[in-house]
Structure 1
Amino acid sequence: MSTATLVLTAAGSVLLLLFLVMKARMHAFVALMLVSIGAGIFSGMPLDKIADTMQKGMGGTLGFLAIVVALGAMFGKILHETGAVDQIAIRMLKAFGENRAHYAMGIAGLICALPLFFEVAIVLLISIAFAVARRTHDNLVKLVIPLFAGVAAAAAFLLPGPAPMLLASQMHVDFGWMILLGLCAAIPSMIIAGPLFGNFISRYVEFRVPDDVSQPEYDSSKLPSFGFSLALILFPLVLVGLKTIGARFTTEGSTLYQWLEFIGHPFTAILLACLVAIYGLAYRQGMDKERVMEICGSALQPAGIILLVIGAGGVFKQVLVDSGVGPALGNALTGAGLPIALACFILSAAVRVIQGSATVACLTTVGLVMPVIEVLNYSGAQMAALSICIAGGSIVLSHVNDAGFWLFGRFTGATEAQTLKTWTLMETILGTVGAVVGMIAFELLS
């Protein structure tokens, strides 16, 4: 088929996905499956190959991510139930003081969100922002924007978040470089989009703490120490980083090299962190086995829904690749003379604006650009930089088709217009700054 026909098929598929999710109110999983079949048919794929491609896309995406997300969900839930997440947030507020509480909220959000899903982190930390707002009598906007920026930055750029982990696995990225460049993107973007933008926009938009929200009380005697809580959250990241650093000083194929590869793999790192959280924290606090199993079981329920939608996004991506739609659109973009890093950002942002999901935007963009990128033989570090560009594009311009848009409004009591002025602008600044860091890193590593 002609390039124009394939490009129209890609555009039509995304528009159909938007219609099914937003207008027909179809569940994202079902909508993605239907659109994947339609894309396969209209791109001219042999009918007997469409089902095989869908199976390949689901298995290829979830084969890696299912283990990481499931273990990560249990790890994060245990840290919450034992008070480790609360301890970090409280200590940050004490260290920064009330006058700089907005910086504390941003950093607490960034750190505490590492082992948690975006929605879970917000639910756990929003009460702290309410409590601080009551004590300081400050505009709530000044506190919740940094909090949401910190959580969103961790979810978009930092391992072991599902989106960056997904990008790293699908694009064959070096995990150590992904951690390093993710930090380089997350920290400045969080500061600019969080405390700085939050301080600015609080002059024009005002939120107040909802009347039905009570001030939380914490029993400090039951909380784990700040040092242990922070060390536990960073533990899996340190293991992954040690593998990348240590592998450069050992002989490839040696026993030490193999051990570093094994211990530093995300599967092993998060599993070990989960075991330390259970045996070194939960049981030491007096939790019985039944309570720990209950916590782990409850953590897997939302993870299952997230994985299904991610898997369906992987199906759509694979259909785009195998049908030839991805290579056609990728070649069209690169043929237009756009730098590859900028093209990754624009493509991801376009998909994000149209269909709302950051994860689906990442997966779709990977399917569109990988056929072009693979032949250029970029290094693992360069691929990490391109992953950051895609991640940045996947969170810009959040609006009414994004669950995060409504989550922000529900917790803060903001109207749709206020949410556009605060949340949408914050996400756009966050994604753009992070992507610019990725583009600069790509040029420096080239």
Structure 2
Amino acid sequence: MLIAASPTPPPPPHTGGLLALIPGTAGLLTVAALGIALLLFLIIKVRLQPFVALLAVSIAVGLAAGLSVTELFGTVQKSDAVSLIESGMGGILGHVAIIIGLGTMLGAILEVSGGAEVLSSRLLNLFGERRAPLAVGLTGLIFGIPVFFDVGIFVLAPIVYAAAKRSGKSIVLYAMPLLAGLSMTHAFLPPHPGPVAAAGLLKVDLGWVILMGIVVGIPAVLAAWAYAAWIGKRLFVAVPQDMVEAAEEAKATVAAERAAAGRTDREEPASLGTVLTIIGTPLALILAATFSSIALDESTLRSVIEFFGNPFVALTIALLMAYYLLGLRRGWSRTSLERVSTASLKPVGNILLVVGAGGIFGAVLKGSGVAQALSDTFSDVGLPVVVLAYLISLVLRVAQGSATVAIVTTAGIVLPLVEGGDHSQAFLALIIMAISAGSIFASHVNDGGFWIVAKYFGISVRDTLKSWTVLESVLSVAGFVAAAALSLVV
């Protein structure tokens, strides 16, 4: 689907700031280019926290594009007037914060309750020693749905150590499939911050994001697993003994913490069916609501399905199920549940602030006219919006390392390209998939995930580039190809 060219770009709404020197569309494009360059400089060179960098650049872009201080910040006299910063921050977080918060608590209960151990042990027994890398990959794929990428590594790394030590083969053979599964869910599926934030900015139903995330993510992760099998046989890395010992110590520490938190010795392992039910329930409910809006006429049944399929309701139901099935029924105290839930929310603050700052950036681009100028320019290029979304996200990712920053910044730039157009929810969800695919391309030394992988699996920087960096690139390109192909038919 090509972007239709705009024959007569509308005049910019503001003439102050930098536009006084370079008027018209050229001035707005200059503001956009300088703003993105400043953002990359602040994050890469100055090492400024991404939230602060995005906020500072949003203000600078707004002023340079001619917005007034009142438009940016509002006024004390008019307390009911909403500024661009307030509307940008509130507009995105009102949708995203609840979903990320509920999803984070759900993942924490699954993690602490031993859900990962149950899932991995059953899959390893099912697939056997010969197909252990695939079993580990499936564990990452399924368990990665409710937990953050780095948490998945911390929890599942001991399983990789054990499988590699038992077989005597390279740890790369087992680590890479696991990482591919975790990365796929982190990039393409809610309730992870990236796709949820993009869905909020582009006003896309989460059901469509889940559906397209599955459709795009499965071929992408299969391609990544194929590369993982290939590189795992050609790159031997021994199991890091110090990490094995650290994992054993951590396991003992967790056991002691569980006992102190009120856990009992009579607690039985959760069943695989229970774990899969809890993980699958919110996805099934949200998808059911999405399909009911297409297949059913207005009725009581459709209203009921859409109520339970609302992301807020679906995730709350899954969380309550986890509280009871993995907690109270197995001897947890209510205090333990409260502690685990509260502790899980501590790392979320930084994510939400970055997402909110991305909403501010998008609001400023739109309110200043910069977004429209970018839209008109990209329209003249003639590339499909899916391709542009992928390329912009890819460049931002490679330049500054953060997938979240790449997604929220790209979504703000791409928004005017699709806003007001007659695009289906399915097509917009594929735009999000393209953005997400670009945001994971070529993880290298400026990405925290690169160093987590290298450290936890004892892989040298050179070998991490050969394995992890290329794996992410394969996942990215395959995901983009799938999204681009689907965009031609939806």
Compute the TM-score of the two structures, normalised by the length of structure 2: 0.86
Q: Does 1:107 align with 2:123?
A: no
- In 1, the alpha carbon distance for the partners of 2:266 and 2:398 equals 43
Name whichever of 276-285 and 352-361 sits farther off. 352-361
* 1:32-53 Cα shifts (integer Å, max 9, x gaps): 2111111112222223212221
Q: Give the corresponding residue for 1:42.
A: 64
**Within 5 A, what are the aligned runs for 1:265-280?**
265-280=310-325
Aligned residue for 1:116, secondary structure, equals: coil
Shift of 1:432: 1.2
Q: Residues 416 and 43 (structure 1 numbering): CA distance in 2 closer, same or farther, change over 3 Å?
A: farther
- In 1, the alpha carbon distance for the partners of 2:364 and 2:374 equals 13
> Structure 1: which amino acid aligns with 2:471?
M
Shift of 1:334: 2.4
Q: Give the corresponding residue for 1:429.
A: 474
Shift of 1:258: 1.8
Q: Which runs of 5+ in 2 are unaligned?
A: 1-22, 74-82, 256-264
Shift of 1:342: 1.0
Q: Does 1:299 align with 2:321?
A: no
1:19 to 41, 52, 56: 41
- In 2, the alpha carbon distance for the partners of 1:393 and 1:172 equals 20
2:444 to 372, 379, 399: 399
- In 1, the alpha carbon distance for the partners of 2:238 and 2:218 equals 27
Shift of 1:277: 0.5
Q: Does 1:345 align with 2:390?
A: yes
Aligned residue for 1:400, secondary structure, equals: coil
Q: Give the corresponding residue for 1:324.
A: 369
Shift of 1:204: 4.2
Shift of 1:6: 2.3
> Structure 1: which amino acid aligns with 2:68?
P
For the 8 Å contact 2:193–2:351, the answer to whether it is kept is no
1:79 to 85, 110, 129: 110
What percent identity do the matched residue pairs reach? 39
Q: Residues 102 and 5 (structure 1 numbering): CA distance in 2 closer, same or farther, change over 3 Å?
A: farther
* Larger relative helix fraction: 1
Q: Does 1:142 align with 2:173?
A: yes
Aligned residue for 1:301, secondary structure, equals: coil
1:58 to 89, 95, 102: 89
2:275 to 205, 221, 229: 229
Q: Residues 136 and 175 (structure 1 numbering): CA distance in 2 closer, same or farther, change over 3 Å?
A: same
Name whichever of 412-421 and 391-400 sits farther off. 412-421
Q: Give the corresponding residue for 2:429.
A: 384
> Structure 2: which amino acid aligns with 1:56?
S
* 1:52-75 Cα shifts (integer Å, max 9, x gaps): 212211111111111111111111
Q: Give the corresponding residue for 1:153.
A: 184
1:91 to 96, 107, 122: 122
- In 2, the alpha carbon distance for the partners of 1:101 and 1:331 equals 51
- In 2, the alpha carbon distance for the partners of 1:370 and 1:442 equals 17
Q: Does 1:357 align with 2:402?
A: yes
- In 2, the alpha carbon distance for the partners of 1:211 and 1:164 equals 37
- In 1, the alpha carbon distance for the partners of 2:487 and 2:212 equals 10
Aligned residue for 1:74, secondary structure, equals: helix
Aligned residue for 1:283, secondary structure, equals: helix
Aligned residue for 1:376, secondary structure, equals: coil
> Structure 2: which amino acid aligns with 1:420?
L
* 1:342-362 Cα shifts (integer Å, max 9, x gaps): 111111112222222212212
Aligned residues: 443
- In 1, the alpha carbon distance for the partners of 2:235 and 2:34 equals 38
Name whichever of 1-10 and 83-92 sits farther off. 1-10
* 1:237-278 Cα shifts (integer Å, max 9, x gaps): 0110111223334322x2222222211011000011001110
Q: Give the corresponding residue for 1:198.
A: 228
- In 1, the alpha carbon distance for the partners of 2:479 and 2:405 equals 19
> Structure 1: which amino acid aligns with 2:67?
M
For the 8 Å contact 2:201–2:359, the answer to whether it is kept is no
Q: Does 1:209 align with 2:239?
A: yes
> Structure 2: which amino acid aligns with 1:284?
R
For the 8 Å contact 1:14–1:354, the answer to whether it is kept is no
